[in-house]
Amino acid sequence: MSRWAMLALAAIALAGCDARVPAGDNAAAENKSVLAEDAAANDSVAEVPKSILRPEVVSDEPEKPVLKPLDLVVPFGTSGLKLDDAGRKLIDALLADPTTAAGGAITIGGHSDTRGSDRDNLVASRKRAEAVREYLLSKGVPAERMTVIAFGEARALVPNAKADGSDDPDARAKNRRVEVQVALPAVAQPPAVAPDDGTAKASVVDAKTQE
């Protein structure tokens, strides 16, 4: 074999050795490929960052209570003109109601039975209403919210006498009472704006013309 042929064969052998990649290098390449795929998968399922301007979870706000007018009857059947413990408990429950706390007007009406003169019964009914008013004042209710009305014997809750005309002490006791009414708070309305019918603009034009 000639020298030139031997050199050509050596060059071909060296080229074949360079083209082959060791098994260790193949394993490293495969590992790098697997790691790249895992990283891509992790990126695809990564949690989307939450916005601080509009949080995903909003705390539930407590529901606002439904307000409705209140009517309470405070009995004075056995206490005469004074507010007893039973009456105080009834008023305390009224004060705990959301409608009372809302700030609406409170009307306190005093009543009496028919025994005695009309004038005396009117005075007695007012004293009962004022006893309730004083208790509400002691509990922090503003005086300007309350209105006291003395009805006397004019508005009986039940008939003061039985069907045969005889006296009915139990019925008269029911009529010695104070009725407390709590209204809903008035909603402030915006001032009414008169519609512009052009008269204001016309007045300005007339004023300039006169000048």
**Can you give the CATH number for the domain in which 142 is found?**
3.30.1330.60
Ranges of residues in the chain whose predicted pLDDT is under 50: 19, 21, 188-189, 203-205
| Per-residue pLDDT at 125 | 97
| Per-residue pLDDT at 186 | 85
In a domain, 209, yes or no: no
| Per-residue pLDDT at 63 | 79
| Per-residue pLDDT at 94 | 97
In a domain, 159, yes or no: yes
For 27-63, b/e burial (b = at least 16 CB within 10 A) is eeeeeeeeeeeeeeeeeeeeeeeeeeeeeeeeeeeee
CA-based nearest residue to 86, from 152, 132, 155, 151? 132
In a domain, 91, yes or no: yes
| Per-residue pLDDT at 47 | 56
In a domain, 102, yes or no: yes
For 202, the token pair is 């016309």
What does the pLDDT look like over 123-145, one tens digit per residue? Answer: 999 999 999 999 999 999 999 99
What is the domain extent for residue 167? Answer: 70-182
Specify burial of residue 126 (Cβ count, 10 A radius: 0-12, 13-18, 19+). buried
**CB of 90 within 8 A of CB of 182?**
no
Total domains in the fold of the chain: 1
| Per-residue pLDDT at 1 | 57
* Nearest 10 degrees: Cα torsion 43, 47, 48, 52: -140
| Per-residue pLDDT at 7 | 62
Could you say which DSSP state residue 167 is in?
A: B
Tell me the pTM. 0.61
| Per-residue pLDDT at 189 | 46
